[in-house]
Structure 1
Amino acid sequence: MSAPRRNAASQRFNMKLSVAVLAGAGVLSSASVWAQSAQSVAEKEQAAAPINAVVVSGVRRAAQSAQAIKKNSDEVIDSIVAEEAGKFPDKNVAEILGRVTGVQIRRSGGEASDVVIRGLPGLTTLLNGREVYTSNNRNLNLTDIPTTMLQRVDVYKTQGAEMVEGGTAGVIDVRTARPFDFKGFSASMAGRLENRDKSDTTDPNVSGMISNRWKGSYGEFGALLGLSYQKGHYQDEVTWNSPPAIVLPDTAPNVTGPVDLGHTYTRGKRERYSANWAAQWRPVREVEVYAEGWSTRIDHDRQAQFFVGTLLLPSYNPQYTLFPGTNQVDTATSTGNLFALSSNQTPQDDSESHQGAIGARWDVTPDLRVTTEFSRIASHWQQQMPIMELLAHPRTIVGSTYVNGGARFDYPGYDMLDPKNYTWNNFIDNWSESRGQSNDWRADATYDLGEDKFFREVSVGVRMAKRKAAYQHESANFLPVTPELNLPAPSSVPGLLCPSMKPGNDYGMDRWLVVCENYQHANLDAVRKMYGRDGQTAPDPYSLFSNKEDTNAFYGKTRFGFEAGSVRFEGTAGVRVVKTKLDVNGFSLIDGQQVAVNRKTSDTDVLPNMTLKAYLTNNLVGRINAGKSIQRPAFADFNPGQSLGATPDGLGIYGGNGGNPDLKPIVGKNFDVALEWYFAPTGSLTGTVFRHKFENYVIRSLALETIDGKQYRMDRPRNINDGQLEGVEIGYRQFYDFLPGWLNGFGLEANYTYMKGYLMDGGVEAPFAGMSKNAFNIVGLYERGPWSARVAYNWRSKFVDTFNYRTLQAPVGPLNLVVDPIETVDASLSYKINDNMGITLDVENLTDRTYNDYHGIPSNPRDIRRYDRVIGLSLRWKL
């Protein structure tokens, strides 16, 4: 094929692909889609296309789709699109997001967990454009959505007036398939075996989807059903130091070191059952009715085996050495009646969430479209978490505070695996439960004024949502061991004691005895009786909250366009007005009495938004976006209850924690400027400069408060008056189709984000928790014939995990908990056996990464953590 004909075919394909993808995404103007002008052009070009035109599929097609969505969107957006329905190289949505520009994730508990956009946690999660969340949180845990359900994931850095309010950092919209997305009958199945090295397990993952559409005398119908089952064991290993404190206040007031050090080994098993379904009916071309839903159930059992050893107390007469040139303890030997604690925390979580929606579209005229939708969410979570403790009684401890990023310690001459060396300690009887539900209705109308007008489209809409959330946990959970209990020796109780997990690294005394996980749950009522309690306790009234939130929103938006010389401009302007009524109920302690608290608040927020996009050339796009957004605090943050400590510290100050019913929504004023060069169907170079200013930002912090005449160091969420974040994002994507032979299968995706910012806390600049100043991803791709491969490298610089992590006596002072740079490497290799079947081998955590954090300075480490390396083998079949 000659170069002109090849380029023409490529352009025809790209146009058809863009129209199809954007129409399905709702990114193109709806009026343009109804008019079918772009589709008609595409169909005519397809009929005229030569038989041997290039057909793009797989990784390239997914990259083209994502690029088309970004280019044509009014908002600043990044998307990841499936190669085919439900086919992603990752297991869940959170794992996928780690490759998106400006998004960082953390992995623990066997999978990706926390997700932040541009260093901020204030995001909103949507499912098919509608709000979705768990029982008492604002967002859905994105690990709960398996990728086998997905069509694509959109990450919005800016928001239009028509979008559900919330998310000062951004919006993550998870899109699942509907039957009309397919030409006819479609089915797929996937099976995966997943091996993890530290937990030494191999687990199954199975999923399937079936969809069909057909025509009858009453129009066209479609139905889809997807099912997924995931089972995963995992093991996390942690070795830690406590925050530095003064070792010998009387004789060495400047020498600091950790009082305690220890190990934490966590082993868990997580099972997820997920389902999604959708039905569509199109009686005539102008009308469509649909219903769809999503459900997930998670059973998550785990045990966290703690060992706490006290190294530095004045009564132990510690003999220590210092790091050269510092006053920090390096090594120490202590003797005496040492504190050595074995603890096994064994939470068992059960949660389920369900969302159902029904909606309709009516093209009243060729220029007027009306849509409406009603959805409902119900969610429930409960946990039993008994903690049983034992004491060992060694006489000597030898410890090093900093070995390979953690602590190393041993007990010479003492056998930590001998049952006779243990006695009983405390029993902590924890349980908690939350429930939530919501009803959400919205209606929208869009009128097409014509592409030859300055104002080309007008949209209006209304949304009404009613949500309830409730939470409670146990009262009087702490049951101390006392002589009156007359407990039998632990070594005499059959099935009570188990050796701790075996770690992968040497940190001295690395194994000990714990109360077995199975024993704790199988004998929970018997253990309660042994400690003098009959059955589960009543809920703590100070933990109980029951909140109602009513939201009414209205928006108006216009799309406009004009030309100035040879430059074509398109833009939008809109405003969303949101009224929120909050009814908070709980209990608080006032003058020593339990008092019911009810707090009602009402806020009205006006959220303007404007975008302007300039087509400087056919392939060079500039854009400016400005807008205002809000983020409501989590329901738990409003809890008026508070827990107050009974024993003061050395300064006569008590400890306490609680919620804050007076919290205000976070306000973000956002400004983005972008320049995007689309030099090939799968080639782009983009850059975005952004700035966010915040009001009423919420952080959890310590402050002195006087309650009932006593001073408490209260830990609770608080509003901060001022904050600012700014930065730059750069993204590059290209497949090197111009290279000869097998080399044209190579492709590269790379992105870099730079951020800086601050929060003003009491006149002091505080860092954004979780924000790395620098982060980048490099993904090497290869696709040729039946083979495709991917190697992804992710790196982020150090960040503050917790601001004012500890407030201690001078000279140590307040400390931030800082996390060292994190890097991960993942890889996958796929082979397409035939048109209907393929096999994939993937590896997560290829380099066996470690996670390190420290108290203020690197030579005061807190944790070194190690996670599983995961090897997966998948077989996929489609029809």
Structure 2
Amino acid sequence: MNARIALGLSASLLTIAAAAPAHARDTDAPAPPAAAAADDAQNDGEVVVTGIRQSLQRAADIKRNATQIVDSIVAQDIGKLPDPTTAAALQRVPGIQVSVNRNNELGDVRVRGLPDVLTTVNGREIFTTTGRKFNLQDLPAEALAGVDVYKSQSPDLVEGGLAGVIDLKLNRPFSFTKPTVVLSARGNYGLRAGDVSPSFGGLATKRFDTGIGEIGVLVNATWQRNDYERDQTILSGVRSSQAAPLNTPGLLLPNIMQNFPEEGRLDRTQVNASVQWQAAPGVQVYLDGLYTDSHDRGAHYGANMQPYTTNVTLSGISKSDNCFQANATAAGQNPTGTAASTLQTLCAVNSITFNNLVVNQTTQARDNYTNNKSIAGGITFDRAGWNANLDLSYQTSHADNTLIIADIGQRLASVTLEPNVDGVPRFTIPGRALQTTDGLYIRNSYQQNFQLTDGYLFAAKADARKELGGFLSSIRVGARYAKRSASTQQVVLNTAVPGGNLGTATEPTAVKVSATGLPADFLSLGSAAPGINGGQAFYVPNPDYLLSGAGQDALRRYVGLAAGRPAYQKDRQFNADEQTISAYAELNYALDVSEGLAIDGIVGGRFVQTDRSLNFFQATTAAGVTTYTPINADTTDRDFLPTATARLKLDGGLQARLSYSKSIRRPEFTDLNPVVTLALSNNPFVQSSGSAGNPNLREQKSDNFDATVEYYFHGGYIAVAGYYRKIHDRVLNGAAPETYNAVTYSVTRPRNLGEASLKGIEVSGQYFADFLPGAWSGIGVQGAFTLADSKIEGNDPLAGNPLQGVSKYNFTAGLLYEKYGLSGRLIYTYRSQYFDSDQTGSISVRPAGTTTLLSYVRPAGRLDFSLGYDITPKIRFDVGGTNILRSKTRDYVGNSYLSFESFYDETTYTMGVRVRI
């Protein structure tokens, strides 16, 4: 049904386009920069289309004139992208998929379902700490003039984006024709958070005529606060109820019923500056700087009920008709290795009451800092048919993350579970048992996790282009040298608390919180869990206490550790150095075949050599003594990345493209570390876990084929694109049980899947109905539909399944308006289900005869709106809202639609003002 809706939308856009006057605009010249166009709109006596319509028109011009397959977003005004965040704006781009992150912001930007995207700022590679891409949320949308999304590779683009390249465009002073100051202020109100989060921005720029040539200076700064709350419920691990202590055959019940209110405060600061100097005709010198800083302080609370604790009984059972046969061990879990099991018929439940079960009330308190600094400079030469550029850049990225976890718990008289109330579990707990401290015990362990990560990049790039004339219109060559380093230091301690553990055989010696000697401020009433009694708060360890130095030392003393932050563990240390040398050449050709018919394109390639050195330590324990052996691993990769494109242009605004390119994605640094790090769980109902990299992990490579047909006309355009990717050595992280010192851990490792394919179509368009009279002529429509059909191939256990994170259907439908100073958008974005995680290595039982178990995110959509009005030519007021239908992110596990994870996504309303001086 949803696919039919999307196809109907596309057909409607085509119908509108066909009915529009067939008058093509002359867009052969490049579109002006956002800032310049905004300046031009103020020229006396000049009539210029501005705002939403202007930004869409310029984005269409970029798409039309680009050599590659590219889609763009252009700011409506200086520092005003059409959505509150970069990821939110990108979700409108055909083929882009996003999801909601922990902070209730849109993130995880994917191009045609693939997350392997290279991020650049003004064409320069940028990253976050040890990763391969940049956290887009750290660069607020207010800082940007626009965003280009390259879906096909060309030789001049920096390599490393298997799925494409996202180039973030910052404003520069020579894009402005007159001195400009723009100030903005905004308040964002989140319904779940219940707070107003402010943000402020400012841009100032001026050009100076001096005795050494014209000099332009620009400074842009933003600060924003996000008070967030994103709540979550999880039915973790499904087991057979035949196991003790339930001893009731035939039911499929969760191992843990988790409720996680997630709250915190995120502060971000961004400053960028640029100086341009016109040293001589055709010679320009520039210097750019960028600083971003984010501080995320918050907590993940849990009221986690554990049905399989001792002395639990069942009542009020209502079975569902969702039943299947499964093999289960005596513990009711999925058998691994040679574990004995029996074939059982298991049914999910519509509702059930657990009596006398234990609830674990946990706090996972975090305090995370991240900052990025970059400086770049260079010189451009444009004279006598030659265009050349030399660019030098240096970036640092640093993160200091703290995670402290403490658990308390109690026995509850009863809990009633309804697993699927509109796809979300609902829990009923009589009375106010969670809001008293009388029966609370300290449980499990005190966990400390401190991590420092750093990344550095020096890059030097030189490009030259020579105009030739004739069939071979130009030749372009270039080279790049990049030196990248990444390092991690970490300590993870999981120390059991003294005494027994509530819900186990040692319960008689469990210690009440009131008997621990910890101060009263160790506990606090946390945020309400919406899944419990319609929204009920519960007592948890106080996150402020856990993050304080005094609180941490008090807990260290309680569990028998020395005071002070523990030293980093050598076996969790990782250092990597990587050097890349690349060179490219491309020929641009153009041929006028006949009147009204022309062909152009490029042919070329990029050669890349990457040398990588990794250093880490392997821990070995014998006779109680641990020694650390340094290990070094070196690799070299050589790649040739060819590109060939052809574009057929016809008079009347019609053109078609064909493109072939090859792209690569280098392994994540942390994925290459072979050392196994284990985290022993002191909670008997949470499986011990571990992780390890794979030093033999290969680069991912993709052969990319694209074809488009585009029609540009007065007021809009229609474009249809087809694509096919053959991906080699696709990487996936999966968990499997591994035993160390008689303890079974779920160890996550990355692996190369072998081959995978991704193919699909994109249909997009936009149109303003100029032919309508008066105010009606301000109406416009915008839409896009993407089909992405993916498949894992080869002999991997997941062969035959779609690629992780790829939704088959994605569409956007928007109603636009702009006239008489009033502008608005109402946009609905939909994403179909997708494979989210591989649960094969978990304890969950699964239908007999199946070897894999996957979790999926259910289909969902979001409705957003914005409405703005120009009070004066220099003052603009706007309001908006995101996710106003209050959609949730809901996961299920397996093909039997058992509820797994549910997230309560935020609905945000915003109000802002912009003043231009």
Same fold (TM over 0.5): yes
**Against the structure 1 CA distance between its residues 362 and 413, is the aligned structure 2 distance closer, same or farther, given a 3 Å change threshold?**
closer
Cα offset, 1:413, TM superposition: 6.0
Question: What is the CA-CA distance between 1:480 and the residue it aligns to?
Answer: 2.9
% identical equivalent positions: 27
Contact 1:688–1:729 (Cα < 8 Å) also in 2: yes
Q: 1:23/1:262 Cα in 2 relative to 1: closer, same or farther (>3 Å)?
A: closer
- The equivalent of 2:612 in structure 1 is 582
Where do residues 827-846 of structure 1 align in structure 2 (5 Å cutoff)? 827-846=865-884
Offset of 1:95 from its aligned partner? Answer: 1.7
Aligned to 2:718: 685
Distance 1:569 1:543, change over 3 A: same
1:797 aligns with 2:832: yes
Inter-CA distance 289–837: structure 2 relative to 1 (3 Å threshold): same
Per the alignment, residue 463 of structure 2 pairs with 444
Aligned pair partner of 1:669 in 681, 700, 703: 703
Correspondent of 1:564 among 583, 587, 593: 593
Checking the alignment, whether the CA contact within 8 Å between 2:233 and 2:531 is kept in structure 1 is: no
Is residue 388–residue 462 contact of structure 2 (8 Å, CA) maintained in 1? yes
User: Could you tell me which residue of structure 2 aligns to residue 269 of structure 1?
Assistant: 265
Q: Shift of the alpha carbon at 1:55?
A: 2.5
Residue 362 of structure 1 corresponds to which residue in structure 2?
381
Cα deviation 1:43-67 (Å, max 9, x = unaligned): 9xx9xx9x98753122221111101
Measured at CA, do residues 759 and 325 of structure 1 come closer, stay the same or move farther in structure 2, by a change above 3 Å? closer
Letter in 1 for 2:820: G
> Residue 627 of structure 1 corresponds to which residue in structure 2?
661
**What is the aligned partner in structure 2 of residue 530 from structure 1?**
558
The partner residue of 1:64 within 52, 57, 63 is: 57
Contact 2:426/2:531 (CA < 8 Å) preserved in 1?
A: no
**Pair 1:502-2:528 in alignment:** yes
CA offsets per residue over residues 836-876 of structure 1, 9 Å max, x none?
11101111111111111111146410122213221111110
Contact 1:187 1:210 in 2 (8 A): yes
| 8 A Cα contact 1:438 1:467, kept in partner | yes
| 1:480 paired to 2:500 | no
Question: Residues of 2 paired with 1:726 and 1:215: CA distance?
Answer: 54
Equivalent residue for 1:282? 278
Q: CA deviation at 1:136?
A: 0.7
The within-5 A match list for 1:79-228 is 79-108=72-101, 109-228=103-222
Q: Distance in 2 between matches of 1:498 and 1:809?
A: 34
Q: Please report the RMSD computed on the Cα atoms of aligned residues, expressed in angstroms.
A: 2.9
The 10-residue stretch of structure 1 (865-874 or 131-140) with the greater mean CA deviation from structure 2: 865-874
1:804 and 1:325 map into 2 onto residues whose CA distance is: 20
Instruction: Quote the offset at 1:283 in angstroms.
Output: 1.6
- Residues 294-693 of structure 1 correspond to what in structure 2 (within 5 A)? 294-312=290-308, 316-319=312-315, 320-324=317-321, 326=323, 327-336=347-356, 338-363=357-382, 365-412=383-430, 415-425=433-443, 426-450=445-469, 453-482=470-499, 488-489=514-515, 493-503=519-529, 507=533, 510-522=536-548, 523-533=551-561, 534-566=563-595, 567-589=597-619, 594-644=628-678, 656-680=690-714, 682-693=715-726
1:127, distance to aligned residue in structure 2 (A): 0.3
Q: Structure 1 counterpart of 2:858, which letter?
A: D
1:411–1:509 Cα contact (<8 Å) kept: no
Query: Does the 8 Å CA contact 2:822/2:867 hold for their aligned counterparts?
Result: yes
1:22–1:667: structure 2 CA closer, same or farther, 3 Å change rule? farther
**Deviation of 1:397 (Å):** 3.2
In structure 2, the residue matched to 1:30 is none
Task: Measure, in 1, the Cα distance between the counterparts of 2:135 and 2:711.
Answer: 34
Provide the secondary structure at the position in 2 that maps to 1:528: helix
For structure 2, which runs of at least 5 residues remain unmatched after alignment?
A: 1-19, 324-346, 501-508
How far the C-alpha of 1:528 sits from its partner, in A, is: 1.8
Q: Give the letter for the 2:78 counterpart.
A: A
Measured after TM superposition, the shift of residue 415 of structure 1 is 1.8
Provide closer, same or farther for how the CA distance between residues 258 and 738 of structure 1 changes in structure 2, counting only shifts above 3 A. Answer: same
In 1, Cα distance between equivalents of 2:545 and 2:742:
45
Partners of 1:689 and 1:727 within 8 A in 2: yes
Match of 1:863 in 2: 901
CA distance in 2, matches of 1:331, 1:212: 67
For residue 800 of structure 2, give the secondary structure of its aligned residue in structure 1: strand
User: Residues 189 and 207 of structure 1 are in contact (CA less than 8 Å); yes or no, is this contact kept in structure 2?
Assistant: yes
Farther off after superposition, 246-255 or 86-95:
246-255
Do structure 1's residue 741 and structure 2's residue 770 form an aligned pair? no
CA distance in 2, matches of 1:601, 1:52: 63
Residues 466 and 474, structure 2, Cα contact 8 Å, conserved in 1: yes
Q: Does 1:695 align with 2:725?
A: no
**Aligned residue pairs: how many?**
842
| 8 A contact 1:420–1:491 mirrored in 2 | no
- Match in the other structure for 2:287: 291
Conserved in 2, the CA contact under 8 Å of 1:80 and 1:153?
Answer: yes
Residues 475 and 537, structure 1, Cα contact 8 Å, conserved in 2: no
Q: Deviations over 1:363-393 (max 9, x none)?
A: 3x41122210100001110111111110112
Q: Distance in 2 between matches of 1:503 and 1:657?
A: 30
Counterpart of 2:32 in structure 1: which amino acid?
Answer: A
In structure 2, give the amino acid aligned to 1:798: Q
Question: CA–CA distance in 2 between the matches of 1:264 and 1:527?
Answer: 23
Q: Which amino acid aligns with 1:872?
A: T
Following TM superposition, the consecutive aligned residue runs of length 4 or more in structure 1 with deviations greater than 6 angstroms are 22-25, 250-253, 483-487, 645-650, 704-712
> Which one of the candidate residues 766, 769, 786 is aligned to 2:804?
769
User: 1: distance between equivalents of 2:197 and 2:322?
Assistant: 51
Equivalent position of 1:716 in the other structure: 749
1:423 Cα deviation after fit: 1.1
Q: TM-score of the superposition, structure 2-length normalised?
A: 0.87
| Preserved contact between residue 344 and residue 387 of structure 1 (Cα < 8 Å) | yes
Q: Distance in 2 between matches of 1:712 and 1:558?
A: 55
| 1:264 counterpart letter in structure 2 | F
**Aligned residue type for 2:523:** L
Question: Counterparts of 1:186 and 1:52 in 2: how far apart (Å)?
Answer: 20
Deviations 1:390-428 (CA, angstroms, capped at 9, x unpaired): 011224333222233232334446722111110112211
Task: Indicate the residue corresponding to 1:820 in structure 2.
Answer: 858
- 8 Å Cα contact 2:607/2:639 also seen in 1: yes
Q: What letter corresponds to residue 280 of structure 1 in structure 2?
A: Q
Look up the equivalent residue of 2:603 and give its one-letter code.
Answer: A
Structure 1 residues 695 and 22 mapped into 2: Cα distance closer, same or farther (>3 Å)? farther
Gaps of 5+ in 1: 1-6, 26-42
Residue type matched to 1:526 in 2?
A: A
Q: Which amino acid aligns with 2:388?
A: V
CA gap of 1:814–1:275, structure 2 versus 1, over 3 A, is: same
The answer to whether the 8 A contact 1:369-1:447 is kept is yes
Aligned to 1:782: 817
**CA contact 1:271–1:300 (8 Å) conserved in 2:** yes
Q: 1:242 aligns to what SS in structure 2?
A: strand
Describe the shift of the 1:656–1:497 C-alpha distance in structure 2 as closer, same or farther (beyond 3 A): closer
Is contact 1:805–1:817 with CA below 8 Å preserved after alignment?
no
- Partners of 2:520 and 2:620 lie apart in 1 by 47
Structure 1 distance, partners of 2:782, 2:27, is 22
**Alpha carbons 2:494, 2:679 under 8 Å: kept:** no
Q: Deviations over 1:504-529 (max 9, x none)?
A: 56646833211112222222222222
Partner of 1:256: 252
Contact 1:562 1:569 in 2 (8 A): yes
Kindly provide the CA deviation profile for residues 726-752 of structure 1, in whole angstroms up to 9, marking residues without a partner as x.
000000111111111111000111000
Instruction: Look up the equivalent residue of 1:307 and give its one-letter code.
Output: A
Contact 2:24–2:653 (8 Å) recurs in 1:
no
